[in-house]
Structures are given as C-alpha cells and as structure tokens.
Amino acid sequence: MSDGPLVLGIETSCDETGVGIVRGNTLLADAVASSVAEHARFGGVVPEVASRAHLEAMVPTIERACETAGIRLDDVDAIAVTSGPGLAGALLVGVASAKALSIGLGKPLYGVNHLAAHVAVDQLEHGPLPEPCLAMLVSGGHSSLLKVEDVTVGVDPLGATIDDAAGEAFDKVARLLGLPFPGGPHIDRVAASGNSVAIDFPRGLTARKDLERHRFDFSFSGLKTAVARWVEAQQRDGVTIDVADVAASFQEAVCDVLTRKAIDAATTYGIEDILIGGGVAANSRLRAMATERAEARGIRVRVPRPGLCTDNGAMVAALGAELVKRGRAPSALDLPADSSQPITTVVA
Ligand code: KG4
Ligand code: ZN
C-alpha cells in the first residue's frame, strides 16, 4: 500500500455501469458503459432497461478496468460500491456484483453514498479535499448544498431542491426545445451561440420572502414552467423560436441561482472552498460563472473535469480509498441496496 490503498469501485445507481480503480488519490482506470442510448427514445431513464444493461455490462466493464489499470482482481485491497441513493433495481446489480467480488477475493466491502462519492472524486484531480468545504451537488436526481468536514464521516445538508433537480430542469427544457436526451450537454452546446440576457427567466427562491425559509434551497419547477409558457406564447404568435437564446437565458437563470446560493452558504459558514460535483457540474457556464463570482470574494472553486462529474466508478473508488486510508469500518455482507439512502449516511 505504498501509495495508498488499491480500491475497485462500482457504480450502477442510474444508467451508467461504472468501474473505477484507484490507488490512493491516483486514478488508474475509469471504465464506463452507458445505456443512455437505449433510454433516449423514452425521454428519460427506464429503470428496468437500465438494470438489464448493468447486468450485461458488469463483467466486461470490470475486465476492461483491470486491463487498463494493469492489475489483477486479487491485487485490490477493497471493493467499494454505490449502495444508494438511486434506482433500486440498478443499484442491486452493483451491490450484488460487489458482494460477489468481496466474498470471492476475501476483501472488505464498502457500500457508499452516491452523493458523497460525487464529492470525493475531486481528490483524484485536485488532491486532498479542503476541510471544511462547501459542496454543491447538481445532478439529474439531486441539487444540494452540503457542508463537508470529513467526507468519510458525514456531510451536513444545508439546503436542497424543493422540486426538480437542476439536471432534471435541463433535461425537461431540452425536451421542450426539441433537443435530445439527456438535455444538459445539448443546452450547454446550443447556448454557446445564444444571448443569455434575451429572456429574463425567473430565479427560484431568491425573493426576500423566500430567503427566510429557503435561503439555501433551490426550486427549478417554476423556471421550467416559465420556459414552457414562453415557448407556447411564441408558437401561438407564429414566431420562430430562437432555440439558442432560450437555452442561453434558461442556463443563465439556473447558473445564477446555483452560484449565488453556493457563495452565500460558503460566506455564511466562513468556508473558503467550494466544490461542485454531479452531472450539471460539467456545464461550461456554471464552471465559468462560479469561478468568476467566487474568486471575486476570495473563495476558491474546485470542479472535477467533466468526465469525472457525470456518474462513474472512479468516484466510488476514490471514496472507498479514503475510507480505507482513514480506517473506517467496512459494510456488512448483508448490505442492502437503499434507493433512498440519506445523504448523511456515507457508508451503509
Ligand atoms: O450525475 P449524473 O451523471 O447522474 C445523476 O446522478 O443524475 O447527472 C446527469 C445529469 C443529467 O440531467 C444531464 O442532463 C446533466 O447531468 N448534465 C448537464 C451537462 N452534462 C450533464 N447539465 C448541464 N450542462 C452539461 N454540460
Ligand atoms: Zn450522480
């Protein structure tokens, strides 16, 4: 274990079968097989299709990861797996596979929280996490602000979305605009040629009255409805919709609220480092705006590269390695897949 523990991480909470291998903070392999193309025609992830795809992809993805890392399975010090939150059937495939490896190899098993893994992955790119740090996780299923003292022990939720997740809003608005699923990357691309101040879309939960109860919470469903109404009104008037302008103005509204609240939370708690994770952290405007606004207030921003922001096995392995390094107790072998594992439970 000269450079840290060698850990294999498995991620199957949604539509990506991810197998990552790390040694300490060093990424050795990050194999991902996605079933996203199989869900595209449904406009969203179909759980049963995702589970079946995980089952088919699991063994080849493990083999590919080992080959890339240049290791044999019995070299690993521990197996880590996402135990929740996520789609129950999809999680089950990963958890069952991890248990089989753990028993077969005689290595400890860590069932970890998907969101904590999105935080821990940044260690692979930027080194040990600043403690404390303010983590903003924005994905297809979650939008949360978390105070993180030690990611292996627990996180302190400060706020979350009260309706749609940020990624969900991107996906729904993309659908409205006739862009393919998942919509986030398409909005990002199309928005680059649009005018971000063309339409003044609402910023959810930023009015004075909302700040009293929901200062660090988010709401994106009103924004999604506002975009829908705007598009309908244009269509009614027979006006051709400028997709780039709508995408850019929508993206600006989301990024404005996310960065404002993250910086407000960091400032309130005296935290000097913001970490952004989850699929939406791949958004180019969010990365630029957060960095610019935070730096103006002396706050540092860390965002992993886009490939590590979306779901992958490396993030699970990264958290697993940190757990081993800090001597945290592994999970029991009757570890369940918990589709609603709370953010406060890092190891199940
Ligand atoms: O973390 P993730 O891969 O899966 C979940 O745990 O949900 O996040 C997927 C979400 C999708 O909603 C997708 O549209 C969004 O992240 N996303 C983006 C971008 N890339 C992925 N949203 C905005 N801009 C992007 N570049
Ligand atoms: Zn995720």
Residues in contact with ligand 1 by the CB-under-6-Å rule are: 14, 139-141, 167, 170-171, 182-185, 188, 278-280, 282-283, 310-311
- Taking the model in full, what pTM does it have? 0.94
Counting ligands in written order, which one lies closest to the CA of residue 166? 1
What is the torsional sign of CA 169, 171, 175, 178? positive
User: What 3-state class would DSSP assign to 46?
Assistant: coil
Task: Give the pLDDT score at 2.
Answer: 56
Task: Give residue 84's identity as a one-letter amino acid code.
Answer: G
Ligand 1 center to residue 185 CA distance, Å? 7
Burial 9-40 (b: 16+ CB within 10 A, else e): bbbbbbbbbbbbbbbbbebbbbbbbbbbeebe
User: What are the tens digits of pLDDT across the range 111-134?
Assistant: 999 999 999 999 999 999 999 999
Ligand 2 center to residue 98 CA distance, Å? 19
Task: Give the pLDDT score at 142.
Answer: 85
In order of 25, 29, 113, 180, the CA distances from 38 in angstroms are 33, 25, 26, 12
User: What are the tens digits of pLDDT across the range 34-93?
Assistant: 988 888 888 888 999 999 999 999 999 999 999 999 999 999 999 999 999 999 999 999
Of 74, 128, 145, the C-alpha closest to 106 is: 74
Confidence bin at 1 (pLDDT 50/70/90): very low
Task: Give the pLDDT score at 272.
Answer: 98
Ligand 1 center to residue 310 CA distance, Å? 6
pLDDT mean across residues, the chain: 96
Of the chain, the percentage scoring pLDDT greater than 90 comes to: 93
Residue 306 pLDDT > 80, yes or no?
A: yes
Ligand 2 center to residue 312 CA distance, Å? 8
User: What 3-state class would DSSP assign to 318?
Assistant: helix
Counting ligands in written order, which one lies closest to the CA of residue 167? 1
Both tokens of residue 286?
Answer: 């969010």
Order of strands, sheet of 78-84, starting from the edge strand that comes earlier in the sequence: 26-34, 16-23, 6-11, 78-84, 109-113
